[in-house]
Structure 1
Amino acid sequence: MAGDRPEDVALFLADSYVSDDRFKQFGERVEDGVVIVVGGERGRGAFEAATGTEAMQFAKTAMELEGDVDDDLAGGNCPEDDGSDDHEVQFVFAFAEEQNEDIGGLYADGDVIHAYAKCTCGAAYSDKWNAREQ
C-alpha cells in the first residue's frame, strides 16, 4: 500500500487470532497471518467482521497509546511490553493519508501511513510514518 492506494485500507490478521480460512483467500499470506488490502468501506466492514470491532472506534482507542507497528503490518512492539511472552500483534488496521502541506510536519513531507494494532495483552496502540521513509 505504502501511500499508493489512499482510498484503501490494509488489515493484518494473525493466525493465532483468526481461524476463519475465508480471510486467507482474500489476502497475501505472511509468516504469522494474512495481509488484506481492500477498498475503504469494504475494508472497514471486513475489519469489523474479522475482529468484532468497528474500525474507526478501534482507531480512536488505539490513538491514546503510541507504539511501533512494523511497516509490513505483520508485527510490532507493544508499548506495554513487560518482557513476558504475552505481546504479539493480533491484528492491525491501516490506511494512507495523502500528503497535505497545509497541515505541515510529517504530512508536508509525503503520504502518511496510519496503523492501529491490537496486542495479545489487550493493549491497542497506534503508529504513523511517512510512506517515503519505508
Structure 2
Amino acid sequence: MTTPREEFLAGERLDDVALYLADSYVSDDRLERFGTRVDDGVLIVVDGERGRNAFRAATGTGAMEFAQSAMGLEGIVDDELTDGQCPEAPGDDDHEVQFVFAFAEERNEDVGGIYAEGDVVHAYARCSCGTAYSDRWNVAPAERQRS
C-alpha cells in the first residue's frame, strides 16, 4: 500500500500539490484530518486548487506567489518534503523548515534539461529565519538528480 506522499513523489499525482506544515509554524490538530502526521508536522497531498487554498489559509500567502519569491534562491528540500537545508546558513540547527509547497510537472522533452529526463518535482520551502528557497529534481526510483 502506498501513501499519497509516495504516489506524489513517484509522479503519479501530477494534478496534486503537497504541503508540509511544521508544528513550530502552525499548530492545529484539525490539519491531521487532511494529511499525514510526520515527526515535526503534517504533510498534506491534495488536488491543486484545494492545496493552494489550504496553503493560503495556513500561511497567509498565495502558493504561486510564494513559489515565485522562492525561485530566486536555490537550496535543498529533502526527498520527503519535510526538511531542508537553508542556503543562508547550511547545517545550522537554528534554521528549520517552517513549510514546504511542492508540485510535480510532467516530462517535457521539448523544454530539455531535467524536464526531458522525466517528471520533475518543484519544491519551495520557508526557513525559520524567513528565507524562502527552491529545489527541483527528477522523479526517479534510483538516485535523485538535482538541477
Secondary structure of the equivalent of 1:48? Answer: helix
Amino acid corresponding to residue 125 of structure 1 in structure 2 = Y
Partner of 1:13: 21
2:88 maps to amino acid: E
The whole-number CA distance in structure 2 between the counterparts of 1:111 and 1:96 is 7
The aligned runs of 1:40-119 (5 Å cut-off) are 40-81=48-89, 84-119=92-127
Runs of 4+ residues deviating >4 angstroms: none
Residue type of the alignment partner of 1:27: G
Determine the C-alpha separation between the residues in 2 that align with 1:96 and 1:83. 27
What's the secondary structure of 1:114's corresponding residue? strand
Q: Which amino acid aligns with 1:38?
A: V
1:61 partner SS: helix
> Aligned to 2:69, what secondary structure does the other structure show?
helix
Q: Deviations over 1:43-88 (max 9, x none)?
A: 0000000111100000000001000000110000000016643200
Aligned residues with identical type, % of pairs: 70
Partners of 2:77 and 2:125 within 8 A in 1: yes
Question: Could you say which residue in structure 1 is the equivalent of 2:38?
Answer: 30
Per-residue deviation, residues 94-118 of structure 1 (Å, max 9, x unmatched): 0000000000110001000000000
Shift of 1:21: 1.3
TM-score normalised per structure 2: 0.88
Which structure has the higher relative contact order (CA within 8 Å, separation 6+)?
Answer: 1
TM-score by length of 1: 0.96
Unaligned runs of 5+ in 1: none
Unaligned runs of 5+ in 2: 1-7
Distance across 1 between alignment mates of 2:91 and 2:80: 23
In 2, Cα distance between equivalents of 1:75 and 1:26: 20
Return the match for 1:128 from 127, 136, 145: 136
Q: Matched residues in 1 for 2:29 and 2:100: separation? A: 18
Correspondence for 2:47: 39
- Tell me the amino acid that sits aligned with residue 97 of structure 2: V
